[in-house]
């Protein structure tokens, strides 16, 4: 079941554990207010990680992802300190004041962080200070970079096991194999529900193993008596998987001459989830990742984004150029086909055009001949009595001009004749265009009772 998170900034988290047997990477997704395991994969030591596991891309701009790596726990120094409750900045300042006393290394050559532990009394806080040589961290980061993994934080998975294992009563919890080596254990001394001390326990060779184990644990117990927190004999607990417990438990029971309670450790998936949850809720706690490396990784991420964007733009441009030339080639090919087809059918087209022109001339001649006859017929039918037609002129195949005379009392009949002729139809179609032609005009002859008249009409057939 996922742990509840408060206002997560990241949408996903990768946790990498590098061991001699290979690298294991967990991916956790932030679903609502919970952290859930999405998937986990195992990779060989000499096998680079896939890009989607080790590096960030443009998609993490909208969905930020946190990268965490477990530092090898056998290369660190652990110190337990009890300080007054304070803000993270105040706590950091108090630890810095004691760092020279706590660190076995020169402060300038060390990188440190701290982790709050549960069980501190009111107004106090119990912290585990993690100290590691800068050279060790840089060597470890070099291995991760060669594998294609750039972490945002370096964490210690052993701390999450200390917090995950239930503590009942006063005693020592021996976490065998948690430091990455089956022959090395981390001993957590819990008294009054508070973590008092952390010490390392080496599994000696089989010869005289129980006595050497008893000697190491008694030295740590005497230190506790001198500090005043070991007030009664401890109960002994072994936290180990069945294989590791089978090697440790007999030696511990024989060396301590008492019962050793065996507890199973949290599953690796649970430890990875706890580490991811703790890192997502770090709230300004210092990381073991050097600041210069964090800056370099961030700049590398920005450079990748620029290069990816530039590559996308160049790719789109090249794709457009390729598409343009491909379309141009297709159009040129089609143009050549059309030109070849035009060249092929041009002689036939020319012959057809000539035949069409000849046919049109013949048709026009035929139409004009019948048009002249139709005009003559209409004039003969509509010409009023008393009017005399002096000329009938059919010019340009379109224009009909009529001239004539009539008595003065027949002028209105000739005007009606002109109007009727303009509206005349032949075979259901208007014979003349009523909007064209010359209007009706008349002229009186002096000293005579005769009027000369004339008008013109145009055929309404379309011009070819």
pLDDT at 22: 85
> What is the structure's pLDDT at 461?
64
Mean pLDDT of 369-385: 82
Q: What is the pLDDT of residues 73-92, one digit of tens each?
A: 778 899 999 999 998 889 99
Position 367 scores a pLDDT of: 67
Structure tokens, 158: 């052993």
Total domains in the fold of the chain: 1
Cα(224)–Cα(222) distance, rounded to whole angstroms? 5
Q: Over range 443-462, report the average pLDDT.
A: 81
- What's the residue count for the chain? 464
* pLDDT of res. 374: 80
Residue 86 included in any domain: no
Question: With 50 as the cut, is the pLDDT of residue 1 above it?
Answer: no
Query: Quick one: CA torsion of 278, 279, 281, 287, rounded to 10 degrees?
Result: 120
H-helix segments, 281-391: 291-382
**pLDDT category, 2, cuts 50, 70, 90?**
very low
Expressed as residue numbers, the domain containing 419 is: 375-458
Give the mean model confidence (pLDDT) for residues 193-206: 90
pLDDT at 450: 87
Q: How confident is the model at residue 113 (pLDDT cuts 50, 70, 90)?
A: very high
Residue 141 has pLDDT above 50, yes or no: yes
Lowest mean pLDDT among 154-168, 183-197, 249-263, 450-464: 450-464
Mean pLDDT of the chain: 87
pLDDT confidence of residue 110: 92
- The mean per-residue pLDDT over the stretch 180-200 comes to 89
- Domain-located, residue 427: yes
Q: According to the model, what pLDDT value does residue 3 have?
A: 43
Which range in 28-37, 193-202, 433-442, 443-452 is most confidently predicted, on average pLDDT?
Answer: 193-202
pLDDT (average), residues 445-460: 84
**In a domain? residue 428:** yes
Mean pLDDT over 28-41 rounds to 87
Say if pTM beats, i.e. exceeds, 0.85. no
- Comparing CA positions, the residue from 266, 270, 268, 265 lying closest to residue 3 is 270
Cα distances from 396 to residues 368, 377, 399, 401, 413, in angstroms, run: 9, 19, 6, 11, 29
* Residue 256 CA: distances (Å) to CA of 202, 207, 235, 322: 15, 16, 10, 80
Is residue 69 over pLDDT 90? Answer: yes
Residue 450 lies in a domain: yes
Distance between CA atoms of residues 312 and 364, nearest Å: 68
Over the stretch 292-306, which tens digit does the pLDDT of each residue have? 888 888 888 888 888
In a domain, 310, yes or no: no
Q: Does any domain span residue 156?
A: no
Position 451 in a domain: yes
In a domain, 259, yes or no: no
Read off the pLDDT band of 413 (50, 70, 90): confident
Task: Measure the CA–CA gap between 279 and 66, rounded to whole angstroms.
Answer: 8
**361 by DSSP, 3-state: which?**
helix
User: Which CATH number fits the domain that encloses residue 443?
Assistant: 3.30.1360
394/211 Cα distance (integer angstroms): 144
């Amino acid at each position: 079941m996922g742990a509840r998170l408060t206002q997560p900034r990241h949408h996903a988290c990768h946790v990498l554990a590098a061991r001699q047997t290979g690298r294991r990477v967990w991916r956790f997704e932030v679903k609502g207010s919970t952290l859930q395991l999405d998937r986990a994969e195992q990779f060989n030591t000499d096998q680079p990680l896939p890009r989607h596991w080790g590096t960030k891309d443009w998609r993490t701009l909208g969905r930020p992802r946190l990268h965490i790596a477990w530092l090898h726990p056998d290369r660190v120094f652990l110190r337990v300190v009890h300080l007054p409750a304070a803000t993270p900045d105040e706590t950091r300042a108090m630890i810095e004041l004691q760092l020279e006393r706590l660190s076995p290394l020169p402060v300038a050559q060390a990188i440190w962080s701290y982790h709050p532990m549960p069980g501190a009394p009111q107004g106090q806080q119990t912290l585990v200070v993690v100290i590691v040589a800068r050279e060790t961290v840089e060597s470890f980061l070099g291995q991760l970079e060669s594998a294609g993994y750039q972490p945002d934080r370096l964490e210690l998975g052993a701390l999450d096991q200390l917090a995950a294992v239930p503590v009942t009563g006063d005693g020592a919890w021996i976490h065998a194999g948690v430091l990455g080596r089956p022959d090395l254990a981390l001993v957590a001394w819990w008294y009054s529900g508070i973590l008092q001390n952390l010490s390392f326990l080496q599994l000696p060779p089989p010869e005289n193993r129980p006595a050497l184990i008893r000697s190491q644990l008694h030295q740590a117990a005497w230190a506790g008596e001198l500090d005043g927190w070991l007030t009664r004999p401890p109960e002994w607990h072994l936290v180990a998987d069945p294989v590791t417990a089978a090697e440790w438990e007999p030696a511990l029971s024989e060396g301590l001459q008492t019962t050793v309670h065996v507890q199973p450790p949290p599953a690796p998936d649970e430890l990875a989830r706890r580490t991811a949850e703790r890192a997502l809720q770090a709230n300004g706690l210092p990381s073991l990742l050097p600041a210069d490396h964090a800056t370099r990784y961030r700049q590398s991420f920005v450079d990748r984004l620029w290069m990816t964007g530039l590559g996308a733009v160049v790719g789109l441009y090249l794709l457009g150029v390729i598409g343009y030339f491909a379309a141009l080639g297709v159009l040129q090919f089609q143009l050549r086909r059309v030109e070849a087809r035009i060249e092929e059918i041009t002689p036939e087209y020319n012959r057809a055009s000539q035949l069409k022109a000849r046919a049109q001339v013949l048709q026009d001649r035929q139409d004009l001949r019948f048009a002249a006859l139709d005009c003559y017929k209409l004039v003969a039918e509509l010409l009023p009595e008393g009017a005399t037609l002096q000329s009938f002129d059919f010019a340009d195949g379109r224009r009909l001009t009529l001239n004539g005379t009539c008595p003065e009392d027949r002028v209105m009949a000739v005007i009606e004749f002109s109007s009727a002729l303009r509206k005349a139809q032949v075979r259901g179609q208007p014979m003349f265009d009523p909007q064209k032609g010359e209007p009706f005009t008349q002229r009186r002859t002096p000293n005579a009772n005769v009027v000369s008249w004339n008008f013109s009409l145009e055929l309404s057939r379309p011009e070819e």
